[in-house]
Structure 1
Amino acid sequence: MLQNNPELKNKIDLLWNKFWSGGISNPLTAIEQITYLLFMKRLDELDQKRQADAKWTGETYTSKFEGTWIPPEYRSQPKPEKFAVDKCTLRWSEFKRLQAKEMLLHVQSRVFPFLKDLNGAESNFTHHMKNAVFIIPKETLLVEAVKTIDELFELMERDSRENGQAFQDIQGDVYEMLLSEIATAGKNGQFRTPRHIIKLMSDLVQPQLGHRIVDPACGSGGFLLGAYQYIVTQLALKAGAKDLMPDEDGFIRTSVAAALTDKAQALLAGSLWGYDIDTTMVRLGLMNLMMHGIDEPHIDYKDTLSKSYTEEAEYDVVMANPPFTGSIDKSDINESLQLATTKTELLFVENIYRLLKKGGTACVIVPQGVLFSSGSAFRGLRQLLVNRCDLKAVITMPSGVFKPYAGVSTAILLFTKVWGAKDEVTEPATKQVWFYDMQADGYGLDDKRSKQEGYGDLQDIVSRFHGRNSATDTDRTQKYFMVPRAEIVDEKGNYDLSISRYKTDFFEEVLYDTPEVILRRLIHAEVGDVDEAELGNVKSGIVRDLLELKGMVE
């Protein structure tokens, strides 16, 4: 991660400072404009790489910068071809050589409109880019930004060569660093999920090629990217990849899908779906996935809790960190959601249950209050998870995981849908719940979140979960243990899922030496091996004081 590469981090800080001093001080606006530039740069590099690969392998590849392009505003003209632009001039490597004034005009009037029109008029990307605006106001800012991004990519390439990490993964770190600036205050309870927590959740769920995967509150697409990287990595390992090494969090990951067949690529790209109610985040999510090699991401603007969203039992996997502490208009809540509440942290979990196919699995982050709060909607949700789902795991996380954005204590819920919403439950689905008390995630739990030595509990959680056993995971003084359903369902119908209810605190008895022994040791440390009869002759004031204390306790 970037904490381990201060040069790269400093370059990103420099880029931020240039935008701030250039008049774009709103973090969300700045990240949009920086993302457009990163996208232009990466689009050119990926296109040239694919051209070179095709030439080497003999495959056919049509460059995105081949031929001419007619800006949309001229397409209805009698002779639109008169306004055609040579696509080659729209490459980053071409326009960066222009003089400042000419570059700004060219990017504003040609390159950015081409970017918005990239996948054709009917594409999802073009639809969501329709209202995007390029607002870098100054020639000098654009020139400086282009120069800094070029230097940033050189550093990423060098880091890739020296440390053996895939370039796309380093780029992901850089992009996550930029995205982190958005959530400085945590708008509407939304907080960026740390990438190592996303990797942990992917390893718990283990999504497979062919699964339909969704995040109903996807933000910048982190969970979709996490699922994509997990699947690509597993396919690469099955294909015999030998050079993939654990990252700083102990996970083996790559974004490079070059070994996949065209059919597998298409299947994988078509299996990732995301929705968000923020149009800016939809655009950022689309570009985030496109920069990682997914040409046509399925990310859309939609309120998945509203009456207008009608999907049900469509997905094999749901991974999400839905908004906390928010609420929505009661009149707009989808009628399929039965919990009598407007709290988004409850409605999203119920909605995730609704989205799952029978046999589908969800991995969701919730505030820990969901595990034990006594309100009827809270109890109703827990009853749903225990009776209609196989609630496999409750993993509590320390409050510092979401710093510096929030100090809220959270938990991961992992459950598989067994009974549909309209099914009569003839037998409760959950038999045992596996609990784990995460105490460290490999990073400091203060606002700095500096990388610590080791992986914290991350790898232990993965191995313990997949090896869980109701016969052996019984010691409740440990971090992990199994609890039978009969204990969770109490006579009041609370379905309490807080780990503190079941965990047994272990106090190890510590035996200390007696005061006499301690004082004798201190005296001999001061004067050496002197016979006790001769200690009275020692003139040291410290020894006299120690002897006096010794006499008082004997």
Structure 2
Amino acid sequence: MLQNNPELKSKIDQLWNKFWAGGISNPLTAIEQITYLLFMKRLDELDLKRQSDAEWTGEKYISKFEGKWIPPEYRAKSRDGDTQSETDKKLVDGKMYEIDKRTLRWSEFKRMQAEEMLQHVQGKVFPFLKDLNGTASNFTHHMKNAVFIIPKPALLVEAVKTIDDIFEVMERDSREKGQAFQDIQGDVYEMLLSEIATAGKNGQFRTPRHIIKLMTELVQPQLGHKIADPACGSSGFLLGAYQYIVTQLAIKAGTTNLLPDEDGFVRTSVAAALTEKAQAILASSLWGYDIDATMVRLGLMNLMMHGIDEPHIDYKDTLSKSYTEEAEYDIVMANPPFTGSIDKGDINEALSLSTTKTELLFVENIYRLLKKGGTACVIVPQGVLFGSGGAFKTLRKILIERCELKAVIAMPSGVFKPYAGVSTAILLFTKVWGPLDKVAQPATEYVWFYDMCADGYSLDDRRTKQEGYGDLQDIVTRYQARYPETDTDRTAQCFMVPRADIEAEDYDLSLSRYKQDVFEEVHYDPPSVILDRLIQAEVGNVNEADLAKVQSGIVRELLELKGMVG
């Protein structure tokens, strides 16, 4: 949506440039610091809105900025053996460090002088942010090691001013275009995340949001489903599931003004139409894990920016022995790391594949995490579809026999640019038999293959939006209408292949193995006629006798060639 708002895009670019010029050149560090500032601003805005809403409705609302706050290190901690007077003394000491919460508001501290503002935000506002949801909170737990490292007062002042400008544009857009503020705010954060254009050390990179929307549309998560991403990064898939569910509920509740976005999907993040019970169910439905602490924090913030107050995002290696969940989720969506390998001694013993390749272990782990009847939609490098090693074949056999492998969608190699040029595919499967079940009958009857040629964006490093939606909407329509009896034309863009054919090909799942190319017969002139034309282009209309006198050069060579084919 930001493609249509050059002003907002320009402000976000300004923010990046200021951080770059201010000495914070690592994109991941910059996004983290920008996130904290956005969060402070959002907290103030949200609190003021809830206050005015409460006044309007006559309900009671206690502001997050009401009263005093004592930093955790100065709070009274009674130890065994402390006398009452010692505890009282600590309480008195703590009171010395009380801070008026009102001064921690964005709207208050933004008026300070540069030096004072930096000290105030660094020493008071940021520690308050980290302590925000109480010690038991997941957010507080993951913020424990977060650091505020904006080094220069001038950079903080500039960043605060630019963020104010960004919010002003968002509010104006919301008023003029009728788009929900929550959605625009989410778009802005997504735009910031998209600037992380360097693959992480674990081979992680952002999944394009239109691909997430496509995958969510294929899976169709419902309210009450328990949804997970075992390699969640910035939580794009969980957000995609959340937006899909909220949108479906809004449509059911009678919302009619939702228009398709630039990728042809109808989406909103606004949960206003949901009952309190539905919001509580939805908030407890989303579970994400990642092995990068920074990504965990960004994932938490991303979901919170979109209105999910207490997301379940955790720091965890889901392939290791320490992660023991099994048959837990109705839906798993993921784009696991492609290039990594894990220490053999740390691999979870419940995983049966004899390999250290993470792209194979993750798919098996996802199968393990699904409840029976649960569905997964996963991005894999195309090598997983045809690799000849034992672990590759075993995994594909699991997908065909223990799962109903519904679809294999081959994607063009430019989808993940500028991060990587690797060719990938989407696998969509439903778990039927558990790992220890005896397979009475292989679960897959037919697999639907689709050859995605375009995704609505240029397939170069720039990934510019093209006219139309590429194949995205066609994939959804054709997948939902797939039928084994009629989808048999293997020269078409999509078709169905029976299990027997896949077994005969040693469980190979690459589309090229089954797709039949159509060869068009082309008629060419005889070589002598083509050579006559070339000679004529060189010398014009010259008779045979004069041509024979030519001793050298290209014409002599063409004449000799003509003599050979003559």
TM-score by length of structure 1 reads: 0.90
Corresponding residue number in structure 2 for 1:522: none
1:167 to 181, 205, 209: 181
TM-aligned CA deviation for residue 204 of structure 1 = 0.5
TM-aligned CA deviation for residue 182 of structure 1 = 2.8
Contact 1:397/1:437, CA 8 A, preserved across alignment: yes
TM-aligned CA deviation for residue 162 of structure 1 = 3.8
TM-aligned CA deviation for residue 11 of structure 1 = 1.6
Give the stretch that moved more between structures: 426-435 or 472-481. 472-481
1:482 to 496, 518, 523: 496
**Secondary structure of the equivalent of 1:392?**
strand
Give the stretch that moved more between structures: 89-98 or 406-415. 89-98
Alpha-carbon separation, structure 2, partners of 1:401 and 1:139: 40
Alpha-carbon separation, structure 2, partners of 1:469 and 1:307: 42
1:139 to 150, 153, 172: 153
CA change 1:512–1:60 in 2 (3 A) is: farther
**Secondary structure of the equivalent of 1:15?**
helix
Alpha-carbon separation, structure 1, partners of 2:440 and 2:8: 57
Alpha-carbon separation, structure 2, partners of 1:453 and 1:75: 59
For residues 307-354 of structure 1, give each alpha carbon's deviation from its aligned partner in whole angstroms, at most 9, with x where no partner exists. Answer: 000000000000000000110100000000000000000000000000
Contact 1:364/1:412, CA 8 A, preserved across alignment: yes
Letter in 2 for 1:28: L
TM-aligned CA deviation for residue 29 of structure 1 = 1.2
2:388 to 346, 349, 374: 374
Confirm or deny that 1:10 pairs with 2:23: no
Give the stretch that moved more between structures: 411-420 or 10-19. 10-19
CA change 1:164–1:479 in 2 (3 A) is: farther
Contact 1:212/1:271, CA 8 A, preserved across alignment: yes
TM-aligned CA deviation for residue 174 of structure 1 = 2.2
2:514 to 502, 505, 510: 502
Alpha-carbon separation, structure 2, partners of 1:303 and 1:441: 32
Contact 1:43/1:291, CA 8 A, preserved across alignment: no
Corresponding residue number in structure 2 for 1:73: 73
What aligned pairs does 1:515-554 form with structure 2 within 5 A after superposition?
Answer: none
Alpha-carbon separation, structure 2, partners of 1:25 and 1:240: 47
Corresponding residue number in structure 2 for 1:230: 244
Contact 1:186/1:405, CA 8 A, preserved across alignment: no
What aligned pairs does 1:114-263 form with structure 2 within 5 A after superposition?
Answer: 114-263=128-277
For residues 107-150 of structure 1, give each alpha carbon's deviation from its aligned partner in whole angstroms, at most 9, with x where no partner exists. Answer: 11111011001100111111111111111111111000000111
CA change 1:512–1:91 in 2 (3 A) is: farther
For residues 144-203 of structure 1, give each alpha carbon's deviation from its aligned partner in whole angstroms, at most 9, with x where no partner exists. Answer: 000011111222223333444333333233222322333424432211000111111110
TM-aligned CA deviation for residue 58 of structure 1 = 4.3
Alpha-carbon separation, structure 2, partners of 1:51 and 1:210: 31
Contact 1:15/1:145, CA 8 A, preserved across alignment: yes
Letter in 2 for 1:278: D
Confirm or deny that 1:273 pairs with 2:310: no
TM-aligned CA deviation for residue 85 of structure 1 = 2.0
Alpha-carbon separation, structure 2, partners of 1:422 and 1:65: 54
Letter in 1 for 2:67: G
Corresponding residue number in structure 2 for 1:455: 469
Corresponding residue number in structure 2 for 1:519: none
CA change 1:484–1:96 in 2 (3 A) is: same
**Secondary structure of the equivalent of 2:473?**
helix
Contact 1:186/1:406, CA 8 A, preserved across alignment: no
**Secondary structure of the equivalent of 1:439?**
coil
**Secondary structure of the equivalent of 2:202?**
helix
**Secondary structure of the equivalent of 2:91?**
coil
Give the stretch that moved more between structures: 25-34 or 310-319. 25-34
Alpha-carbon separation, structure 2, partners of 1:511 and 1:2: 50
Confirm or deny that 1:91 pairs with 2:105: yes
TM-aligned CA deviation for residue 20 of structure 1 = 1.4
What aligned pairs does 1:10-29 form with structure 2 within 5 A after superposition?
Answer: 10-29=10-29
**Secondary structure of the equivalent of 2:331?**
strand
Contact 1:11/1:148, CA 8 A, preserved across alignment: yes
Letter in 2 for 1:487: D
Letter in 1 for 2:146: A
Confirm or deny that 1:46 pairs with 2:36: no
Alpha-carbon separation, structure 1, partners of 2:429 and 2:191: 31
CA change 1:186–1:509 in 2 (3 A) is: farther
Contact 2:382/2:423, CA 8 A, preserved across alignment: yes
Contact 1:3/1:450, CA 8 A, preserved across alignment: no
**Secondary structure of the equivalent of 1:146?**
helix
Alpha-carbon separation, structure 2, partners of 1:174 and 1:236: 22
- Identity fraction in percent: 81
Give the stretch that moved more between structures: 55-64 or 420-429. 55-64
Letter in 2 for 1:70: I
Letter in 2 for 1:208: Q
Query: Structure 2 regions of 5+ residues with no counterpart?
Result: 77-89, 527-536, 544-566
Alpha-carbon separation, structure 2, partners of 1:238 and 1:57: 26
**Secondary structure of the equivalent of 1:226?**
helix
What aligned pairs does 1:291-310 form with structure 2 within 5 A after superposition?
Answer: 291-310=305-324
When the two chains are superposed, the root-mean-square deviation of aligned CA atoms in Å is 2.4
Confirm or deny that 1:290 pairs with 2:309: no
For residues 506-527 of structure 1, give each alpha carbon's deviation from its aligned partner in whole angstroms, at most 9, with x where no partner exists. Answer: 234578999xxxxxxxxxxxxx
**Secondary structure of the equivalent of 1:187?**
coil
Give the stretch that moved more between structures: 440-449 or 471-480. 471-480
For residues 207-262 of structure 1, give each alpha carbon's deviation from its aligned partner in whole angstroms, at most 9, with x where no partner exists. Answer: 00001000000011111111100000000000000111000000000000011111
State how many pairs are aligned.
524
For residues 45-104 of structure 1, give each alpha carbon's deviation from its aligned partner in whole angstroms, at most 9, with x where no partner exists. Answer: 222222333333444433222222221122123323343222222111111111111111
CA change 1:46–1:445 in 2 (3 A) is: same
What aligned pairs does 1:386-535 form with structure 2 within 5 A after superposition?
Answer: 386-490=400-504, 494-508=506-520
Alpha-carbon separation, structure 2, partners of 1:488 and 1:547: 63
Alpha-carbon separation, structure 2, partners of 1:151 and 1:302: 37
Alpha-carbon separation, structure 2, partners of 1:193 and 1:489: 32
**Secondary structure of the equivalent of 1:448?**
coil
Contact 1:70/1:83, CA 8 A, preserved across alignment: yes
Alpha-carbon separation, structure 2, partners of 1:458 and 1:153: 32
Alpha-carbon separation, structure 1, partners of 2:170 and 2:119: 29
Alpha-carbon separation, structure 2, partners of 1:508 and 1:186: 45
Alpha-carbon separation, structure 2, partners of 1:473 and 1:8: 45
Letter in 2 for 1:78: L
Corresponding residue number in structure 1 for 2:352: 338
Alpha-carbon separation, structure 1, partners of 2:253 and 2:60: 23
TM-score by length of structure 2 reads: 0.88
Contact 2:223/2:281, CA 8 A, preserved across alignment: yes
CA change 1:14–1:426 in 2 (3 A) is: same
Contact 2:197/2:418, CA 8 A, preserved across alignment: no
Letter in 2 for 1:37: L
**Secondary structure of the equivalent of 2:395?**
helix
TM-aligned CA deviation for residue 547 of structure 1 = 13
CA change 1:359–1:59 in 2 (3 A) is: farther
Contact 1:183/1:190, CA 8 A, preserved across alignment: no
CA change 1:265–1:31 in 2 (3 A) is: same
Alpha-carbon separation, structure 2, partners of 1:266 and 1:546: 87
Alpha-carbon separation, structure 2, partners of 1:48 and 1:409: 48
Letter in 1 for 2:403: C
Alpha-carbon separation, structure 1, partners of 2:376 and 2:328: 13
Letter in 2 for 1:495: Y
**Secondary structure of the equivalent of 2:371?**
strand
Query: Structure 1 regions of 5+ residues with no counterpart?
Result: 515-541, 549-554
